[in-house]
Amino acid sequence: MSFALRRVMIRGVALSVGLALLLSPAWAAAETIGGGTIATPAVGPAPAYAVDGSGFVLVKNWNFGTSPSSTVTDMSIMNSHFQYHDQHGLDANPGYGASMVAPNAATAISGQPIEGVDTTSPVRAFFTDTLRTYLVPLNGATTLDPYLLNTGSGAFQPKWNLPGGGSRLGQDVLWETRVRYVTPRHFWFALWADGNNWNKGAEYDLIESFGYDNASIGGGNNYDGRYWHSSVVGGSSATNYHANWANGMTANGIPAYSSPVYNPAEWHVWTWLYRQDNTYAAFVDGVQVQSGTIHWTVGGGSTAPAVNMSFHFDGTWGSRKPETRNDFSIPASELAGKYYEWDYSRVYLRTEPVKDNTDSTGITLTAGTGAWVASSVTPGHIGTNYLHDNDTGKGTKSVQYTPTLSQDGTYNVYMQWTSGSGRATNVPVDIVKANGTTTTVTVNQTVDGGTWNLLGTYALSKRNASVTVRTTGTTGTVIADAVRFTPIASEVIVDNARLSNSDKTGTWVHSRSAPGFHGYDYAHDNNVGKGSTTARFTPNLPVAGTYNVYARWTADDTRSNNVPYRITYNAGTVLVYRNQQVNGGSWQLLGTYPFNAGTSGGVVISNGGTTGHVVADAVRFELVLP
């Protein structure tokens, strides 16, 4: 009998089940590629990293390999879902020094190199759980030159695309890809998205790395791919990678100048989150490395025409840009043993529940004296109209909004109204929380009309969540238009990569040598400086409440068996100890405590009184819903 954990994939949600033999085959569904919309989802796992809360639906699941659990298992399926040129009709990006190779004449565009015709070695090959794409010489070339375009690549692009992005799509997008690569000199690798009409945007380069001599990225070359940037084209970014790739990486917790350097030959998960409010964030192995804002339009302008969103898987070679090429060529023999290897790429979508006064369900009107009046006179409303109380029947009228939430969780609750001088300044709005209690927020409807106004962040349950606009005690007209519920993370993970120097005392050594760590690496005290080495993990909790607090470490016989964790919460401080010789590679519960919202609480790991190495990897705070 097997008692191993088994992961069951059902319509984009990953479920962990302890007794595998209790699962009927009817419960477990084979993974599918999916139709690309929330209405036609894929079957497959949830995101590897919960970077922005819950509610995402898997709509595209490209899981490469020949195993039964894969969805893209051979070139026939590959050809059905992917093309070997970009959406602009080019098989060679104007900056690249290689051309994409088509698998056969039927998939080729005019003038494009074809596998087996212009090549003598494989361009794409499936393995049990992965797809490898290769760089190959074209037409027997022995010396490769980017200006001759005598190099072929196995790069590819989905035929499917999204009709837009950000506010133009009206859905949150999460794109996640697991990849590694072993590269020759002057390689060019990129995971990126752009639109079908490009003018210096809209574009997001989730990762871009190319191998050329460049002193600004560490005083040497990038032939091994240890340096990269994650940047927007046509929008704003928090980190300016273009000034210095290595400094940008280091500023975001990925060591660039010290061990362990980023190793592209290891597997890494790259995630791009693009929200419908036009903000975005990028992550590698769950560690945020970029954030900012972009409008998914021609050039990225807020009023420019919208464009679609297409995803690129570029494992290519060479640069024809004067600032990067440095007049190089390499012998074709250097391509031997080099490859880009793809495990999976998945796209998830999330729609925020919005309740409008015109909805046929989920709206309950109470009108004791005089009816609510529908109007569209004042601009700035959602839908075709809004409701107002006509400044009568005070205390007898209300509008209750009852959303259909996909699951219990933490939500930002917003309300929109039309403003004016005759509006009430003291409108009471009641939010029913998951524990059944009600919080009342007072809003001023003379201002801030025509936009979403945050009422607060709350733990809500799909069983009883509601928002009610009342007229009690108001003077002036009360507006009831629309309410929005935006799911946010119900857990906060603080990784060692995010700690600043002020969060640490003593000397912590970063490492990737032992498996089971969260994010990019873990830190340890090197078994020295006992009593003087600490690491403080401070979360920014979205809402006050009770949280399960977990810690993670990599286990080994050389670890300490009595590591102290000092937990500060809203009732004081408690000290607990854990044995890091066991239970590595998983979240271990330290306890359950009440916390205030914000950054007043946290966990401090120290090496005081310990014998053996102390590991500081990551701490997780999980909101407990009543």
Same domain, 334 and 363: no
- Strand segments, DSSP code E, in 54-211 are 57-63, 82-83, 99-100, 124-126, 131-133, 136-137, 143-144, 151-153, 157-158, 172-182, 187-194, 203-210
Token pair recorded at residue 132:
């490898």
User: How many residues comprise the chain?
Assistant: 626
Same domain, 433 and 346: no
Q: Of 496, 532, 506, which is closest to residue 609 (Cα–Cα)?
A: 532
Q: With respect to residue 29, please indicate whether it lies within any of the assigned structural domains.
A: no
Half-sphere CA count of 399, side-chain side, radius 13 A: 26
pLDDT at 327: 62
pLDDT at 546: 92
Residue 175 CA to residue 296 CA, distance in Å, equals 15
A 10 A CB-CB count for 94 gives: 8
Same domain, 290 and 368: no
Same domain, 562 and 618: yes
CATH number for the domain including 106? Answer: 2.60.120.200
Same domain, 420 and 298: no
Q: Would you call 327 exposed, middle or buried from its count of C-beta atoms within 10 A (0-12, 13-18, 19+)? A: exposed
Q: Is 186 helix (H, G, I), strand (E, B) or coil?
A: coil
Same domain, 336 and 363: no
Q: With respect to residue 1, please indicate whether it lies within any of the assigned structural domains.
A: no
Pick the last residue of a domain from 470, 488, 506: 488
pLDDT in tens, 541-567: 988 889 999 999 999 999 999 999 999
Structural domain tally of the chain?
A: 3
Q: With respect to residue 22, please indicate whether it lies within any of the assigned structural domains.
A: no
Contact yes or no for 298/198 (Cβ under 8 A): yes
Half-sphere CA count of 236, side-chain side, radius 13 A: 7
pLDDT at 198: 87
pTM (global) more than 0.85: no
Same domain, 364 and 484: yes
Same domain, 244 and 391: no
pLDDT at 217: 53
Q: With respect to residue 9, please indicate whether it lies within any of the assigned structural domains.
A: no
Q: With respect to residue 409, please indicate whether it lies within any of the assigned structural domains.
A: yes
pLDDT at 626: 64
Same domain, 514 and 603: yes
Half-sphere CA count of 601, side-chain side, radius 13 A: 30
Q: With respect to residue 12, please indicate whether it lies within any of the assigned structural domains.
A: no
Q: With respect to residue 155, please indicate whether it lies within any of the assigned structural domains.
A: yes
Q: With a cut of 70, which residues of the chain have pLDDT below it?
A: 1-28, 213-220, 322-327, 626
Q: With respect to residue 19, please indicate whether it lies within any of the assigned structural domains.
A: no
Residue 415 CA to residue 43 CA, distance in Å, equals 34
Q: The domain containing residue 339 runs over which residues?
A: 34-351
pLDDT in tens, 504-553: 999 999 999 999 999 989 999 999 999 999 999 999 998 888 999 999 99
Query: Which string of DSSP letters, residue by residue, matches 287-339?
Result: EEEEEEE--SBGGG-TTSPB--BEEEEEEEE-B--HHHHTT--EEGGGGTT-E
Same domain, 164 and 230: yes
Pick the last residue of a domain from 466, 488, 510: 488
Token pair recorded at residue 332:
């074709």
Same domain, 291 and 394: no
CATH number for the domain including 587? Answer: 2.60.120.260
Q: Of 189, 92, 210, 220, which is closest to residue 150 (Cα–Cα)?
A: 92
In the chain, the amino acid numbered 256 is A
Q: What strands lie across the sheet with 99-100, from one edge to the other?
A: 99-100, 151-153, 136-137
DSSP 106: G
pLDDT at 325: 53
pLDDT at 6: 27
Residue 177 CA to residue 190 CA, distance in Å, equals 12
Same domain, 325 and 358: no
Give the residue carrying structure tokens 């009543």. Answer: 626
Pick the last residue of a domain from 319, 351, 383: 351
pLDDT at 259: 81
